[in-house]
Amino acid sequence: MRVLRALVRRKLALFGLVIIIVVVTAAGLAPWITPYPPDRQMFDGLTLEGAPLPPNAQFWLGTDLLGRDLLSRLIEGARTSLIIGVAANGAAVLIGTLVGVTAGFFGGWIGAILMRATDLMMAFPALLLAIVLAALFTPSLWIVALVIAMVNWVQVARVIYTETRSLSERDFIEAEWGIGAGRARILFRHMIPHLVSTMVVWGTLGIATTVLLEATLSYLGVGVQPPTPSWGNIIFENQTYFTSAPWLVFFPGIAIILLALSFNLVGDALRDILDPTQKGRH
């Protein structure tokens, strides 16, 4: 509750939190609130010449090239983006935390091998690596989530490793070793609780990166495949009609930007609240 009250007092964080709540609510209620089935091709959704309709009283955000309601597809696409964002980033945080804590706590040759493997992964451009991995598998929602997790865990591992090494040198940890405390007690009673705030911050900030990466992969045609709507593949399907039907690209683009910005604003505020020593350093 203390964290929530602190978030609410920050205007930008509150704005981001409201956007996230709206998107999550819309995604969760998508089967009941979408005006039309997202994949329904409607005859009255096209002009007599077969062109998509601009925003109007019947179709609030207009229709696409097949006469489908764009608002319905955006709401359904929010589910895809959030599922991938939460699942992929959750997996990335767990993998990164496991690698970082293991390397930082045990050190020695175990830490050296894990950190060199992390450095090797960081040497590859994340987007290029994700494209290669996505191209090797049959793209689907869960495959895309897995691919994104495989390229995003390295930053978390590096941060957690640094935090763990710093904690290992603190006086209270040295005191625990001095009284004969076991590794399990030190790790789970003292190390992990001090890392939770870092995990929460990176979990929040990472969702923004994940949403953008999913949209990029879908835009490039190696992400979530039609007919499953995602904000990225909606742009991909309609990009060639940007000049004649700009709403087909504008609205999903705004949705991606707003959601990514909102998670960044909330994550940035959480970093200040949970770790006041970082305030003003970013």
Q: What is the DSSP string of 75-113?
A: HHHHHHHHHHHHHHHHHHHHHHHHHHHHHHHH-HHHHHH
Closest alpha carbon to 259 in 199, 207, 223: 207
Is 63 contained in some domain?
A: no
**What pLDDT score was predicted for residue 198?**
84
Assigned domain for 89 exists? yes
Given a cut of 70, is residue 263 above it in pLDDT? yes
26 located within any domain: yes
Between 71 and 126, where is the model more confident? Answer: 71
In the three-class reduction of DSSP (H, G, I as helix; E, B as strand; rest coil), residue 63 is classed as: strand
Q: For residue 251, what pLDDT band results from cuts at 50, 70 and 90?
A: very high
37 compared with 193, residue with greater pLDDT: 37
Are the CB atoms for 126 and 210 separated by under 8 Å? Answer: no
Flag whether 53 is in a domain. Answer: no
Inside any domain, residue 223: yes
**What's the structural domain count of the chain?**
1
Q: Is residue 60 in some structural domain?
A: no
User: Could you tell me the CATH number of the domain that includes residue 209?
Assistant: 1.10.3720.10
Q: Is residue 58 part of a domain?
A: no
Question: What percent of the chain stands above pLDDT 90?
Answer: 23
pTM of the model: 0.83
**Is residue 40 one of the residues assigned to a domain?**
no
> 184 vs 187, 191, 192, 219, CA distance in Å?
5, 10, 11, 46
| pLDDT tens per residue, range 188-200 | 877 888 888 888 8
What is the predicted pLDDT for the residue at 184? 78
pLDDT of 280 reads 44
Residue numbers of the domain that contains 257: 2-35+69-278
* Nearest CA-CA partner of 238 in 61, 37, 104: 61
Residue 260's φ and ψ, nearest 5 degrees, are -65, -45
